[in-house]
Chains A and B, each alone.
Chain A
Amino acid sequence: MEAVTKLDVEAVRADFPILKRMIGDRPIAYLDSAATSQKPVQVVEAMRRFTEHSNANISRSVHTLGAEATEAYEGARARVAAFIGAPSADEVVFTKNSTEAINLLAYAFQNAALDPHADPRFRLAPGDEIVVTEMEHHANLIPWQQLAQRTGATLKWIGITDHGRLDLESVPEVITERTKLVSFTHVANLLGTVNPTSQITARAREVGALVGLDASQSVPHIPVDVAEIGVDFIAFTGHKMLGPTGIGVLWAKADLLDAMPPFLTGGSMIKTVTMERTTFADAPAKFEAGTPPIAEAVGLAAAVDYLDSLGMENVRAHEKELAGYMLERLETVDGLTVIGPRVPIGRSATVSFTFDGVHPHDVGQVLDAEAIAVRVGHHCAKPTCDRFGVNATTRASAYVYNTHEEIDRLVEALGKVRKVFS
């Protein structure tokens, strides 16, 4: 039963040549988009065209190619800003990936802690608190652990219920008058939980804390509007949203970017330089030292165009349908336990599970023999694994190009897994 959505999946699939790739004698069923998505020809073509036609360094040269490259790069910034509802393109900082975007923010706090004149919102000291959740990807945990260790601040977290949801009842106790920053994941990469944001942001506002959102697993899959969502920072990455690797985004409100000390320093981020000191450029240049990923920015803009042409509401509806189908079908498999919400409400089409005592590595290997690509392991979320008492999980994740038939193949192949290891 194919759902009634406005996404023409067959037409989408035709844009992704890799989906015709054969593994053994079967076409690949790619169910690992939460790790990285595939790229449509439109993205590859945009990068190729830029590289063949307009490649030059940006913001330096007066020649034609330099001007075209600068225009393409800044155009990509404006395109991404529009996609997430940012009021100004200058609020979009290009980074290498989400991890770097979050580190950029963490280092703004760390550098501010060393500067007595820094904006007090970024000055951390012993007694101050940073709040995360137990369902973070390591990228939104370790930078804050490190920051806490280095500044003497305390790291706290919101726990997870047995159903794989945030324990929102604990929010008033976890986020206190001492909290300076709350940084949490919008959509959990292992559990697939879509976290409601309003309760956390409201409490953070009440105590005057800044709020960051790891949107790596949300911006690719659901409409995200920064004006609407009411947070101060979001981080996401190009390669999970049909774009290339090597480019990510930190969005932050303009006045916060102004107040933040730079992370990396060097070329392109300065106003004036003498042998003794430097004044910094305004954001976003202040945070983009060195030659940035220019062709990648062009590719990301093409990915955003592609997603917009599909319509993010349609993407969301398609994935909601797939999430429901995946959960329903996986529940029929004997010995399979879903780790995370078991209903397709407040949930992405990323489903982690354990299977009958068979180690995920072995599950993944047998699935690969059936030309099904899933992710196995701890998914860079070891504390989440610990919370559910598992060492690792198998994770299937769907995107715009996935079909019901591929999910049927997954379920069927799990029968083969059982056969090999019974």
Chain B
Amino acid sequence: MNLDELYQEVILDHYKRPRGAGLREPYEGESHQVNPTCGDEITLRVHVDGDKVADVSYENVGCSISKASASVMYELVNGATVEDSLARLAEFTELMNSKGQAEGDEETLEDAVAFAGVSKYPMRVKCALLGWMAFKDALVRAEAQTSGRTDA
């Protein structure tokens, strides 16, 4: 197997220098996700302002793939509209499920296309998706809370 394909420089760079790490206030939704097979964990918060993802903050322990993926995700969804962030989530999930057949669109996925190689390693796909699952869950919670507030 080709290790360089899995551990691309851009992945190792995000792993060593994670962007947007740390938990911040304010936030409307928080999610805690665990990968039970390896014990990796992430706590992730989403702050929504209008139709924008105004902040994504997180704390995580895990392997290089899961930590780098959370960092890349931060860059993609922070400041994006909720709609765009969900589109990136769908795109990235599709890439991870491609079993090495897709390359990913660099225009939209940016650094996240570096994870295309990960999709060939079924044992690692969950690592790459852990942060995104937390984001999806936190966003649902944030929206539930925000809409609850408007209704009240």
Contacts and interface: CB of A to CB of B under 8 A. Distances in A.
Nearest to A358: B64
Interface string A2-37: 000000000000000000000110000000000000
Contacts of B7: 362, 365, 420
Interface string B31-42: 000000111110
A303 to B, nearest CB: 28
Contacts of A420: 3, 7, 12
Main secondary structure of the interface of A (DSSP, over half): helix
Interface string A384-422: 010000011000000000000000000000000000110
A40 interface: no
Nearest to B3: A369
B79 interface: no
B1 interface: yes
Interface stretch (A86-94, A96-104, A249-257, A374-382): A374-382
A376 B38 contact: yes
Contact of B1 (A358, A359, A368): A368
Interface in A346-368: 358-362, 365-366, 368
Interface in B101-148: 121, 124, 127
B77 interface: no
Interface string B43-82: 0000000000000000001111100000000000000000
A378 B62 CA distance: 12
A382 B35 CA distance: 13
B63 A421 contact: no
Interface in A236-261: none
Nearest to B16: A421
B115 to A, nearest CB: 14
Given A361-B124, A362-B63, A421-B12, A377 B6 contact: no
B1 A361 contact: no
A380 to B, nearest CB: 10
Contacts of B127: 361
B64 A421 contact: yes
A391 B64 contact: no
B3 A382 contact: no
Nearest to A392: B39
Nearest to B127: A361
Contacts of B39: 377-378, 382, 385, 391-392
A368 B2 CA distance: 11
B128 to A, nearest CB: 11
Contact of A366 (B3, B38, B41, B121): B3
A361 B35 CA distance: 12
Contacts of B38: 360-361, 376-378, 392
B40 A365 contact: no
Contacts of B1: 23-24, 368-369
Nearest to A378: B39
A391 B127 CA distance: 15
A368 B123 CA distance: 12
A378 B38 CA distance: 6
Given A377-B38, A392-B38, A420-B7, A362 B64 contact: yes
Interface in A141-200: none
A359 B64 contact: yes
Contacts of A362: 7, 63-65
A359 B63 contact: yes
Contacts of B64: 358-359, 361-362, 421
A365 B6 contact: yes
A311 to B, nearest CB: 37
Interface in A95-143: none
A382 B40 CA distance: 12
B28 to A, nearest CB: 29
Given A382-B39, A391-B40, A392-B39, A359 B3 contact: no
A268 B7 CA distance: 54
A16 to B, nearest CB: 23
A229 B110 CA distance: 62
29 contacts: A24-B1, A358-B64, A359-B40, A359-B62, A359-B63, A359-B64, A360-B38, A360-B63, A361-B38, A361-B63, A361-B127, A362-B64, A365-B3, A365-B121, A366-B3, A369-B1, A369-B2, A369-B3, A377-B39, A378-B39, A382-B39, A385-B39, A391-B39, A391-B40, A391-B41, A391-B61, A391-B62, A392-B40, A420-B3
Given A368-B1, A391-B41, 5 more contacts: A360-B38, A362-B63, A365-B6, A392-B40, A420-B7
Interface of A: 23-24, 358-362, 365-366, 368-369, 376-378, 382, 385, 391-392, 420-421
